[in-house]
Chains A and B, each alone.
Chain A
Amino acid sequence: MTKVLVVDDSNSIRDMVSFTLKSAGYETAEAKDGQDGLNKAKSGTFDLVISDVNMPNMDGIELCQELRKLPTFKFTPILMLTTESSGDMKMRGKAAGATGWLVKPFNPEKLLATIKRVVR
C-alpha cells in the first residue's frame, strides 16, 4: 500500500489531508512539524511526503533539504502544501529538492488528482 507522510502544524489540515488520502486507499503517518517529520521519516519508509511550508521547529523547505540527504528519500516525491503561490516560494522549494507544490485552499479532489502525478 502506498504510504504517505503528512507534515503540518495545523491539526485540522493534517486531519483533512490524512482523511482524504485514507479514503482514497493510501496509508498515512502524520507529523506535527518539520523536526517531527524528519524523525518519522528516519524511522520508516514512505512513498510520498506532503508537507506544509510554514511550521515551527523546522519549516517545510528545511525538511525537504534534510530529507534529500537521506538515501531512502533521494527519489521520494515531496510535495509542499502551501498558501504561498509566489514564484519565489516555488523556486526555494525546487532548490530544496521539492517535487511539486499544492496550493491551499486545500481541495480534496484536486489533491488526489495531483498526487497521481508523482505516485502510483
Chain B
Amino acid sequence: MSVDLSQFIPSFLEESFEGLELMESSLLNLEQGDDETINSIFRAAHSIKGGAGTFGFNAVTEFTHLVETLLDEMRDGRRSIEQNDVEILLESVDCMRLLIEAIRDETVCDTNKITETSILLEHTLAIDDSASSSDNLDGHSASDSENGLSNWKILFIPEHHLVQTGNDPLFLFNALADLGELTLAANCKELPALNDIDAEELYLSWQLTLSSKASEAEIKEVFEWVEDECQLTITKDETSDKVATEEVKTTRGSANESTITEQVESKAEQKISSTISADKNTSSPAPEKTGNKAKNDLGSIRVGVDKVDSLINLVGELVITQSMLSELGNDFDLSKVEKLNSGLEELLQNTKELQESVMRIRMLPISFAFNRFPRLVHDLSKKTGKDIELILKGEQTELDKTVMEQIGDPLVHLVRNAVDHGIEPAEARIAAGKSPKGTITLNAYHQGGSIVIEINDDGGGINRQAVFEKALEKGIVDENTTLTDPQVFDLLFEPGFSTAKELSDISGRGVGMDVVKKNIQSLGGRIQVESEPGKGSTFRVNLPLTLAILDGQLVRVGSEIYIIPLITIVESLQPQKDLINRVSGDMVLYRLREDNVPVIPIYSLFNISSEFKDIESSLLVVVEADGQKIGLMVDDLLAQQQVVIKSLNDNYQQVEGISGATILGDGSVAMILDVSGIISMAHKKSEIDQQHKKNMQLKARQQISEGANC
C-alpha cells in the first residue's frame, strides 16, 4: 500500500523552525561540559535530519548530517566546545534555515552560503567529501536482476532466549512466505521432557526452503533483527525440488501452550495470493496525488489542547442554551418572559466566553518574537566590539499572532539602535564609572487591555542637545522653541532623523525611527521614550492585545454614532463654564486641573449636524494619544461595548480621523475614531490657522506700509 505523507510537510517545517530556534538559543548559552544543552541541540538537529530524510529533502539531510556529526563529537566529549565551533554551528543553523525556508516557499536558496558553510564544517570535521553520506542503507540494489525463481535453503537455529526480545519465528516465516513459496521442517531434537521445559525458552530449529525471486540480501533482511541470536545459513540450491510439506512445530513461551502445531504451507499460499491481489490494486488506479501541491505556507497556529478543550466545552454550552431558547419559542406566552430573559442572559455569557476563548487561540507568548534577539545581540556585539548582556523578561506574556508578526521588525530596529547608539564603548563606560559590560533589557507585560514592550539600555542616554541641534539643522524647530523632554525625544521619530555621526552597518539602513513609529501606530499602538543622561534610555511600545476587537465607548453626535477606543479615554465630563477659555480664533481650551486641553467639536471635524453647537451644553470626552490630550465634544455618551473592527481600507478607503468601522447590534454602521489622527488633524488646522493669521498680518503690514508710501 502507498501512504501519502505530504500532508505532514507543514508540520515538519513548523517543527524544524522551532528546532532551529532552540538550536540557536542553546548555542548562544552553550558552556563547556553542559551535557544537557548540547544534547538538546543534537536532538533538534537529529529530528530535522530524520524528518527531512523522510520527505526526501536531501539537501537538508546532507547538510544536517554534517552538523549532527560535529555535535555528536561534542556530545561524546571527543571535541571540546570552542567558540569557533559554536560560530560555525550558528552559521550552519542559518544555512539550515535557508534550506528549509526554500522548501516552504518552494524556491531555490542561495547555494553559495550553504556550500561555503559545508566546506567549513567538513574542514572542521576533517573528513573528505566522499565519506560524507553514510546513510546509504540498502546495499542490495544491484543484485535484484535475477528473473527466475531460485530455491533457497535456509538453516535457522535460534538461541533459546530469542523470544525474550519480542521476536517470534512464526512472524519471520510469514515474512519469508511473502517473498515466495515456503516450506519448512522443524527440528525437535533439543526439546526437553515436558517437565523440564522452560516456557520462556525456545528449543526448536528449522530447515526452510524458499522458492522465490528474492535475492540473498532480501532474505537476510528478514533475519536482520535476529542474526546475532541465531545460527543462520542461507544457500542457493539449484537442483533440489521442493521439499514435501511437513508438519511444523514451534514453541512459544506463553502460559500453557508450550507447543503449537501449525500448517504453514496453507498459510503461505494464502499470503502469496493476498500479495498478488495487493499488487493488482496498486497497479490499477495510481494513488491520487493531491491535485495542486499544497503550499507549505505556515499560516497555522499551534494551539494548546486546553484552549481547544475550553472551546469545545463552550460550544457545548452554547448548543444547550440554543436548544433551550428554541424550545421556549415553540409555544411562547408572556408567562415565560422571565425564562426567556434568563436564557438570553446565558446566551450573552456564552457568547462572551466563546469570544474570549477564540481570541485566546490567536494568542502566542511573546517569546516567539523575542527569540531572535539573543542571536541578534550576540552578532551585533561581536561586530561593534561591545560586550553586551541581553536580559529577556515576561517572555510568556501573550500577544495576538498578527500583532506579533508585525512588531518583530520594529523591535529589531529598536534593539539595533540600543546596541549601536545606546550602549557606549567599554572605555566610555569605564570612564563613566559603569561596568564595561552593557545591558539591554527587553520586558513585556500586560497593562489594562494592552501589552507593553520595553526596550531598555543602560547606556549614555539620549543626548538632548544633539537631538535639538539636529532638528534645528533639519529645520524642524527654530532656535527659540522650548521643548519638554518628551517633545525632544519625539523628534527622533521625525522622518530622516539620525543623530549618529556616521551611518553604521548596524542601524541606519535607511529605515528610520519614523517607520518604526508608523508601524507601531498602524497596529493601533504607540511608542514613548524615556531617557536619563548617563543612565540609559527606555523605549516603551504600547500595543493592543488584538487587532480584531476593541473596547469602545459609543458616543452620539447628532444622529451619528461614533466609537472612541476606551484605552485612549482619560475621562468624560460635563464642561463647567468657568473652566472654558476661548483663545483667539475659534480655538477653545478647557482647563482640566493643571492642563489646558484643546476642545475639538466632532461635528465640525466631520462637517455634520449636531444637537449642540456650544460647549456648555455638550459633553467632553478627554482622550490622550502621543502624550497629548484633547477634548472631544459630543452630544451624548452611550454604552461601552466591545466592537469587532472592520477595516475601512478594505471596504472603502482611508479616511483621516477614522481608524475603522464596526456594525452595531441594530445593524447600523458606526465609525471608530482614530484619536492620534484627530490630534494631528487639529495640529494641522491650528498651523493653517496660524499661517493664515501670519499671512493676514503680513498683508495688513504690507497694506499699511504701502499706504504710508503713498
Chain A residues with a Cβ under 8 A of chain B: 9-13, 15-16, 19-20, 23-24, 54-56, 74-78, 83, 85, 94, 97-101, 103-109, 112-113, 116-120
Contacts and interface: CB of A to CB of B under 8 A. Distances in A.
B171 A119 contact: yes
Given A9-B43, A56-B40, A99-B225, A78 B51 contact: no
Given A100-B167, A100-B224, A119-B171, A13 B54 contact: yes
A108 to B, nearest CB: 4
Interface of B: 1-3, 5, 8, 11-12, 15, 39-40, 42-43, 46-47, 49-54, 56, 61, 135, 137, 163-168, 171-172, 174-175, 178, 200, 222, 224-225, 228-229, 253-254
Contacts of A108: 2-3, 5
9 contacts: A9-B43, A12-B51, A15-B8, A16-B8, A100-B167, A106-B54, A112-B3, A113-B178, A117-B222
A15 B50 CA distance: 13
B254 A75 contact: yes
If over half of A's interface residues share one DSSP class (helix, strand or loop), that class is named, otherwise mixed; here it is loop
A20 B1 CA distance: 10
Contacts of B224: 100
B176 to A, nearest CB: 10
A83 B175 contact: no
Nearest to A108: B3
Contact of A83 (B3, B50, B166, B222): B50
A16 to B, nearest CB: 5
A19 B8 CA distance: 10
Given A24-B3, A76-B166, A83-B50, 6 more contacts: A15-B11, A75-B166, A99-B167, A99-B225, A104-B53, A105-B56
A15 B55 CA distance: 14
A55 B44 CA distance: 10
Contacts of B254: 75
A109 B3 contact: yes
Contacts of B15: 10-12
A103 to B, nearest CB: 6
A101 B530 CA distance: 61
B165 A13 contact: no
Contacts of B54: 13, 16, 104-107
A55 B43 CA distance: 7
Given A56-B40, A83-B53, A119-B171, A99 B5 contact: no
A104 B50 contact: yes
A56 to B, nearest CB: 7
Contact of B43 (A54, A99, A100, A105): A54
Contact of B49 (A19, A55, A83, A112): A83
Contacts of A99: 165-167, 225
B1 A109 contact: yes
B32 to A, nearest CB: 21
A83 B174 CA distance: 27
**Most chain A beta-carbon neighbours within 10 Å: one of B50, B166, B225:** B166
Contact of A74 (B40, B42, B164): B164
Residue from A24, A97, A118 having most chain B Cβ neighbours under 10 A:
A118
Contacts of B56: 105
Contact of A94 (B49, B165, B172, B174): B165
A13 B137 CA distance: 19
B225 A117 contact: yes
